Amino acid sequence: MNALFDLSAEDAKARHAQLVKEIRRHDALYYQQDAPELSDAEYDALRRELEQIEADYPALVKADSPTQTVGAAPAKGFKKVHHSTPMLSLSNVFSEEELTDFLERIRRFLKLPEDETIEILAEPKIDGLSCALRYEDRKLVLAATRGDGVEGEDITANVMTIADVPKTLPQDAPEILEVRGEIYMRRDEFVALNAAQERAGEKIFANPRNAAAGSIRQLDSAVTASRNLHFFAYGVGEVSDPQAVATTAESATPLQFYIIQNLKRWGFSVAEKMGVFETLDALMDNYRFILSARADIPYDIDGIVYKVNRLDWQARLGFVSRAPRWATAHKFPAERAVTKLTAIEIQVGRTGALTPVARLESITVGGVVVSNATLHNEDEIARKDIREGDTVVIQRAGDVIPQVVEVLLDKRPADSKPFPYPDHCPVCGSLAIREEGDAIRRCTGGLVCRAQAVERLKHFVSRLAFDIEGLGAKIIEQFYEEELIRSPVDIFTLEARNDTLEPPIREKEGWGELSEKNLFAAINARREMALNRFIYALGIRHIGEATAKRLAATYGSFEALEEVMGKTQDREGAAYGELLNIEDIGPAAADELVAFFAEAHNQEILKGLQAQIRIQPYDTPKSADSPVAGKTLVFTGSLSISRSEAKAQAERLGAKVAGSVSKKTDYVIAGEDAGSKLKKAQELGVTVLTEEEWIALVS
């Protein structure tokens, strides 16, 4: 069947030209700008129409037609993959003191006696990109990037080209095995690749890590195959038989080191130079040894990773936000470079904080081009007497923002003057003041200040808050300038106002019917919002993601939160006292919250938002049949496990742990020598459990 049979040669030619142009535009949006406007199906429809016309009128086929470029239609990007267990990141230590703290914290958390040895597995931290490999029935079925830790990208086709990655496993490997590790490129291969890229007039990579990432993020796996990539395994995710993965024929005690041994036996490459150490001194010796051998190792390493060897201890230690308590990265010292500081600029943030930023003559530090550095605050500038025009030493450590560590005074120009720190907001001109004890000067303009208003809007739509795709930083700035969006409420009324706008969004430069439609769809998808994200989105100072979650868990619904806030004006009252009782909420955070809810303008915005969206009540994450899910507990006295472990355990079961006893407390768990809290519980008639009763209840 020829659907276009009645298209005249004239029309076909015109439509062909139009389609070629459109497809090219969408290819560019997709591949170069990472900003597709079409769904896969819409894009495919355009291509099919083009193919049909060319089939009917072969004279229209040109070498550069999208139908003629490499093989079939390129796969549109990478599919998303949900990780069955999250891929975590690592905390860092930079010194012997911090390493000591790390080990001490573990000892305290596990309540280990001083003479009990904590075995630590130390392995080099390879600077590449992390990858999860999933084997089912001993066959590689899926490879995924880490992404945000919860969701990554499906890079199976490309990983299939890496020789180090086994495609099948021996019979004794478990049925389901997810191996985690790092994809990397050796330094010599990186140098050779860049030389070849340069000859071909192609992109030069900044460092081996970027080269590895760029090679993996290829839509054409033939390109990936032509690059030399390697993989080393450092751990496991989901496994069908955890015991088999973590033990050996000789020992039934599950250890991290046995995981590595088994992975090696099943054909994976593992890091060289790894070892198990028992003391701080041995760990420090190993650190210095590897640091001195760094240049002889053929790939980039940026530190040493330490992991508690015993897996039962790992399980007890658990996680804090996104990093395990049982592991950390001991980073190598920062790299430094000398450059010229051309200007000091003052940025104004969401909470009005004035932050000085150094603009630098661009320079490469540890393989990354740096053109800005943080100057922290006004005192820091004064203390180091940093001036515009100075030659400075900057340093960069890991992903940390580069810092100015020193001014080279002998290079200072004769006419240089100390930097006059502004006492007015450079954006809105309002007075900028420093409160007692605060290192930061803040603009007092509030929402009158354009910078604060825009930053708050950016925060409101950011990933952990409303997460509205299509309302990026640039668009927020533009729509703010054009007065289309001045408050969060305006985001949700935009669609209704659109047809009265001059011009409507679809007619703005860079927009079209489809992108307009997508924007409204993205906004409308957020008319139901989880309470914790909503609270976080408000951008109240000191109320971060974790604290917002605690508030949501404590009050349950937005109505309840508002009601309590209405009563917190009285600092002596019960409502304020209860607020302070919440973990993580100190007087500073409490005061910010109270002030936020008391402000008339904020109340108006909250009312406006409630008319537009539905804020879902908070569901305490329940371990389905945990008897303490949603309950409030207080631990007191001394327990056989540490207080931190008891708290972490209760929270895993969906309970809230409070610092003091009130009528709202469900259980008080009283260890030995419990004092005033136990007494208060008895007075209030709160159920008191012994540690044994608590263990019986939750196990």
CB of 232 to ligand IVH, least distance (A): 8
Q: Which residue, 126 or 543, has its beta carbon nearer to ligand IVH?
A: 126
Q: Is 90 or 140 the residue whose CB approaches ligand IVH more closely?
A: 90
Reported as half-sphere exposure (CB side, CA atoms, 13 A), residue 406 has a value of 9
Closest CB to ligand IVH among 233 and 606?
233
Considering beta carbons, is residue 89 or 638 the nearer one to ligand IVH?
A: 89
Q: Check if the beta carbon of residue 60 is closer than 8 Å to that of residue 53.
A: yes
* Residue among 275 and 630 whose Cβ is closer to ligand IVH: 275
Q: How far apart are CA 128 and CA 300, in angstroms?
A: 8
Smallest separation (angstroms) from ligand IVH to the CB of 131: 8
Locate tokens 């049925």: which residue?
175
At closest approach, how far in Å is the CB of 243 from ligand IVH?
20
Question: Is 130 or 626 the residue whose CB approaches ligand IVH more closely?
Answer: 130
Burial class (CB in 10 A: 0-12, 13-18, 19+), 171: exposed
Active site residues: 125
Q: Phi, psi at residue 69, to the nearest 5°? A: -85, 135
The residue type found at 400 is: V
Alpha-carbon gap, residue 458 to 51, rounded angstroms: 43
- Closest separation in Å from C-beta 92 to ligand IVH: 8
DSSP, res 370: E
- Please give the residue ranges that form the binding site for ligand IVH (CB under 6 A): 88-90, 123, 125-126, 130, 146, 182, 234-235, 271, 305, 324, 327, 329
SS3 content of the chain, % helix, strand, coil (to 5): 40, 20, 40
Q: What is the smallest separation between the CB atom of 124 and ligand IVH, expressed in angstroms?
A: 7
Calculate the alpha carbon distances from 515 to 207, 507, 626 in Å. Answer: 35, 11, 46
E strand or H helix at 616: strand 614-616
Q: Provide the minimum distance between the beta carbon of 460 and ligand IVH in the complex, in angstroms, as a whole number.
A: 29
Q: Which is nearer to ligand IVH, 50 or 90 (CB)?
A: 90
Instruction: Give the torsion through C-alpha atoms of 346, 349, 353, 354, to 10 deg.
Output: 0
**Dist. CA 388–CA 391, nearest whole Å:** 9
Helical ranges in 111-241 per DSSP H: 156-159, 187-199, 208-216, 221-226
Give kind and range of the element (H or E) at residue 689.
Answer: strand 687-690
User: CA angle 227-232-237, nearest 5°?
Assistant: 120
- Please give the residue whose beta carbon sits closest to ligand IVH in the complex: 130
Q: Rounded to whole angstroms, how far apart are CA atoms 409 and 390? A: 8
Q: Please state whether beta strands 230-239 and 176-184 pair in parallel, antiparallel, or not at all (unpaired).
A: antiparallel
Nearest CB to ligand IVH, comparing residues 318 and 426: 318
Rounded to a whole number of angstroms, the minimum distance from the CB of residue 184 to ligand IVH is: 9
Structure tokens at 669: 């768990």
Contact 108, 642 (CB under 8 A): yes
Provide the minimum distance between the beta carbon of 165 and ligand IVH in the complex, in angstroms, as a whole number.
16
User: What gap in Å lies between CA 695 and CA 193, rounded to an integer?
Assistant: 59
CB-neighbour burial class of residue 629 (10 A; exposed 0-12, middle 13-18, buried 19+): middle
- Is residue 203 within 8 Å of 214, Cβ to Cβ? yes
Closer residue to ligand IVH in complex, CB, 130/156: 130
Minimum distance between the CB of residue 631 and ligand IVH, rounded to whole angstroms? Answer: 30
Residues 232, 181: contact at Cβ < 8 Å?
A: yes
